[in-house]
Chain A
Amino acid sequence: QSALTQPASVSGSPGQSITISCTGTSSDVGGYNRVSWYQQHPGKAPKLLIYEASNRPSGVPDRFSGSKSGNTASLTISGLQAEDEADYYCCSYRSGSSYVFGSGTRVTV
């Protein structure tokens, strides 16, 4: 099972905006609106940021937003803050009743 493709690292200054891409195929990202995003700080469990490509759970700051076009989903962090420094993973449902994660992106502020 090949992982979804994410950039290994993205960096930005406080207050800036960054975007993380997540590229899959028509069997996963492109075929369903079932993309989610997770933030993971070192030594911690992942935390849900975005579900169904663009929906934000309650409690997640509106600085985090998601979108999808074709086989690529994106996570944008606006007004970057120091506490946003973490690893970010996308995830998609894949045909055949499985799930696939992205390779992960290290965000440096």
Chain B
Amino acid sequence: QVQLVESGGGVVQPGRSLKLSCAASGFPFSNHAIHWIRQAPGRGLEWVAVVSNDGGTIYYADSVKGRFTISRDNSRSTMYLQLNSLRAEDTAIYYCVREPYLVVAVATFYFDWWGQGALVTVSS
């Protein structure tokens, strides 16, 4: 059974850092691109970043570029999101999300499996 389990959320002061992890199981992790998507309390969904199956291609939303870093360790079936210079508007549930594939390393442009999310609260 496919599982994506986020961890590392919590309360952090503005300007500080936090690192989220996403442990995957139940599928060939190294075949899939993985995204982070966030949702502020009571608000809509916002795409944050994506890392390709082999970690070689990475893209970020403009709102987090230069502050957040996405990475993955295929040997541990785990991906990470390093959040630096945090702001109040970064407060959200952060979802680890799988992108399906038909051919490895070829994007499919949608999301077929979501974790339950990790809450990050930026507050003084």
Name A's B-contacting residues (CB within 8 A).
1, 3, 32, 34, 36, 38, 45-48, 51-52, 57, 89, 91, 93, 97-104
Contacts and interface: CB of A to CB of B under 8 A. Distances in A.
B44 A57 contact: no
Secondary structure dominating the interface of A: strand
B46 interface: yes
Given A1-B62, A45-B95, A45-B117, A101 B44 contact: yes
B77 interface: no
A34 B115 CA distance: 22
Contacts of B46: 101
Contact of B47 (A32, A57, A98, A104): A98
Contacts, number: 57
A98 B35 CA distance: 11
B114 interface: yes
B63 A1 contact: yes
A1 B61 contact: yes
Contacts of B112: 48, 51, 57
**Residue among A3, A36, A38, A98 with most chain B CB within 10 A:** A98
A99 B37 CA distance: 10
Nearest to B60: A98
A91 B111 CA distance: 10
Contacts of B47: 91, 98-101
B27 interface: no
